[in-house]
Amino acid sequence: MLPSTAARVIPSWHRVVSTSGRVLWAAPAENIHTTAALCGAPMKKKKRIDPALQKMQLDRKRKRLEKQIRLASRFAKKLKPIDECEIHRDIPKHSHLRTSEPDIEVQEEQVQRLQLRLEWTQYKAKQSRQITRKFDAMISAQEAALRELKLENLSLYELAVEKDVELLPYKFVGPCETPPIPGHLLDGNYTETTKSYELDPEIVKLMLDKNDRMRHQK
How far is CA 109 from each of CA 30, 102, 103, 121, 122, rounded to the nearest angstrom?
109, 13, 10, 18, 20
Q: Is residue 63 part of a domain?
A: no
Which amino acid would we find at residue 171?
A: K
Question: For 171-183, what is the mean pLDDT?
Answer: 75
| Residue that wins the pLDDT comparison between 190 and 210 | 210
Q: Is residue 112 part of a domain?
A: no
Calpha distance 136→130 (Å, rounded)? 10
Q: Return left, alpha or beta for 11; rule: phi > 0 is left, psi -120 to 50 is alpha, else beta.
A: beta
Q: Give the largest Cα separation in the chain, rounded.
A: 161
DSSP letters along 24-50, please?
Answer: EEES-GGG----PPPPP-PPPPPPP--
Q: Is residue 64 part of a domain?
A: no
Q: Is residue 147 part of a domain?
A: yes
Q: Is residue 91 part of a domain?
A: no
Q: Is residue 210 part of a domain?
A: no
| Residue that wins the pLDDT comparison between 102 and 93 | 93
Name the band, by pLDDT with cuts 50, 70 and 90, for residue 191. Answer: confident
Question: For 152-174, what is the mean pLDDT?
Answer: 83
pLDDT of residue 132: 95
Name the band, by pLDDT with cuts 50, 70 and 90, for residue 87. Answer: confident
Q: Do 26 and 11 meet the contact criterion of CB atoms below 8 Å apart?
A: no
Q: Is residue 37 part of a domain?
A: no
> How confident is the prediction for the chain on average, in pLDDT?
77
Which amino acid would we find at residue 86?
A: E
Q: Is residue 151 part of a domain?
A: yes
Number of domains in the chain: 1
User: Residue 16: in which H helix or E strand, if any?
Assistant: strand 15-17
pTM over 0.85: no
Q: Name the residue range of residue 157's domain.
A: 126-162
Q: Which of 107, 91, 88 is nearest to 99 (CA)?
A: 91
Where would I find the H helices in 90-162?
Answer: 95-98, 104-152, 154-160
pLDDT tens by residue, 132-149: 999 999 999 999 999 999
pLDDT of residue 5: 44
Burial (Cβ within 10 Å: 0-12, 13-18, ≥19) of residue 150: middle
43: pLDDT strictly greater than 70: yes
Question: For 147-152, what is the mean pLDDT?
Answer: 91
186: pLDDT strictly greater than 50: yes
Q: Do 31 and 37 meet the contact criterion of CB atoms below 8 Å apart?
A: no
Name the band, by pLDDT with cuts 50, 70 and 90, for residue 12. Answer: very low
